[in-house]
Structure 1
């Protein structure tokens, strides 16, 4: 009976999340997660106080949660990835706490969980299904796989360079990039920082310093919410951002004659102020902006 309940709850929760979290609105509010209903009664998908949700009557943990914190210029994932490229999740206090026991049971049974990542206060981006594939008691943490391929990577021996890079790519594409994107878009109130376009599906989280570089950390202060055309123009050094957060269009582009998109979408951006987040911690790092602006000038 318990196993059947466990299976039904997991299936119902993930089905609801697939329907609720669309490309246009992929994040879910805390109140929605606490107020989820299952078979006619309220059944919270997250714990009201703890990071691990192990409901009474279920055989294993249902979800894990990472709380939102302002990250400034620090990489928020640097202490969560092992040498194998897989992500880690810390136990909740005492290893014998019932929530941690729930994680151990999830590992033993191989059942899928939901991982809720905070992108703003009380707003979460869900990632599912995920699996607990290893226990590291000495570090008080579990190893989390984000897809079926990661579930079968070796944990008890050396990991090849190819396997590590493959695993890191999965973690970046499945979790780090989506979380970074939503944190940046939320910080900019779902609006392009240049043209103020508010269609979420047409917005990107542009890196000031590219993420392939050491200083290109996945932090909001290294990002800007830009529509797709202005993101591409920024990456191609058609547009630049001065250290005083003013938009500058490359001189040769200003001289071109073309259709209305060039005129209104690019040329008229010249000398306009960038629309910045309200919170100081979310604003672009001025040093990174200045570094990127020097590259823009060199390209011009």
Structure 2
């Protein structure tokens, strides 16, 4: 027999945590530091939203898990718990250690009672992008994992029989738009210290994470080394082959654009970028991949 959760107390804790995150994580600054999550207070008392050591937070006195956390790893490194997208387009979150550990049991209870959780996704050491509410919608014991829904549409996907091709593609699109794209954007912008790699504009709301090789391409992986932090005008110009980037990180402006006569935006915003060098991330591993830049530069040259 399933014992009831802490009723009103459980609901108040979840509601308070998510309300605080909505206020704290704005479109201008959607990320949050580990220390802030550990310092959260509920009704005047310390009540961390994440576990200090484990990836699953199942507070004492609560039956169900409150949050899950994905640790940040550099591109190419394997995460301690490797989460993936299933054939149904839903994300998976791995159990941690013994399936009977109290934290994993907490995930099962969250599934049984259909309670919402918070998911903190690492984008840099000690820095997280929160997703909430999310729901555990399936327990896959043989794979030691659970399926996680990011919204109401995904939440009911597995309750109505086998997933059709149309449903799977729709679910994959939700996962890409709701999690993969925001995580990629924040990782790239953090690597470039919230500054356009071309013009140094520092307004986060006006910055994009531009792909070197587009994400529709098989090689267009959501890795920092396949990304550039660009302001919206330079992102659009890069996508339209108005300007290109050589493998030695030097910017080229298309010849016909250099010869064009127009207003100050053309002169200072585009033509002035010609022959300038990109501002690169401090970490060498985060810098644009040479081979990807070369491939994209050849596409730019072919379009000239």
Q: TM-score, normalised by structure 1?
A: 0.97
Alignment partner, residue 63 of structure 2: 59
Change over 3 Å in CA distance of 1:79–1:110 after alignment to 2: closer
Q: Which runs of 5+ in 1 are unaligned?
A: none
Alignment pair present for 1:3 and 2:3: no
Q: Distance in 2 between matches of 1:102 and 1:235?
A: 46
Note the alpha carbon deviations across 1:199-248, whole angstroms, 9 max, x for none.
Answer: 00000000000001100001111000000000000000001000100000
SS of residue in 2 equivalent to 1:18? helix
Which residue number corresponds to residue 19 of structure 1? 23
The equivalent of 2:282 in structure 1 is 278
* Deviations 1:44-93 (CA, angstroms, capped at 9, x unpaired): 00000100000111121010000111114999x99601111100000011
Calculate the aligned-residue CA RMSD, in Å: 1.7
Secondary structure class of the residue paired with 1:154: helix
Secondary structure of the residue aligned to 1:84 is: coil
Shift of 1:128: 0.5
Change (3 A) 1:155 1:141: farther
2:118 maps to 1:114 = yes
Secondary structure of the residue aligned to 2:208 is strand
**Corresponding residue number in structure 1 for 2:92:** 88
2:244 aligns to what SS in structure 1? strand
- Confirm or deny: 8 A CA contact 1:72 1:221 kept in the other structure: no
- 2:72 counterpart of 1:68: yes
Match of 1:231 in 2: 235
The counterpart of 2:213, out of the listed 193, 201, 209, is 209
* SS of residue matched to 1:181: helix
1:169 aligned residue: 173
1:147 to 148, 151, 154: 151
Q: Distance in 2 between matches of 1:74 and 1:209?
A: 22
Uncovered stretches (5+) of structure 2, i.e. residues with no partner: none
Contact 1:71 1:220 in 2 (8 A): yes
Aligned mates of 2:198, 2:7 — CA distance in 1:
52
1:115-168, CA deviations, whole angstroms, 9 ceiling, x for partnerless residues? 000010100000000000000000000000000000111268532110110000
Instruction: Tell me which residue corresponds to 2:104.
Output: 100
Contact persistence 2:226–2:292 (CA under 8 A): yes
Is the Cα–Cα contact under 8 Å of residues 73 and 285 in structure 1 kept in the other structure?
Answer: no
Inter-partner Cα distance in structure 2 for 1:74 and 1:182? 19
Aligned match of 2:200 in 196, 200, 219?
A: 196
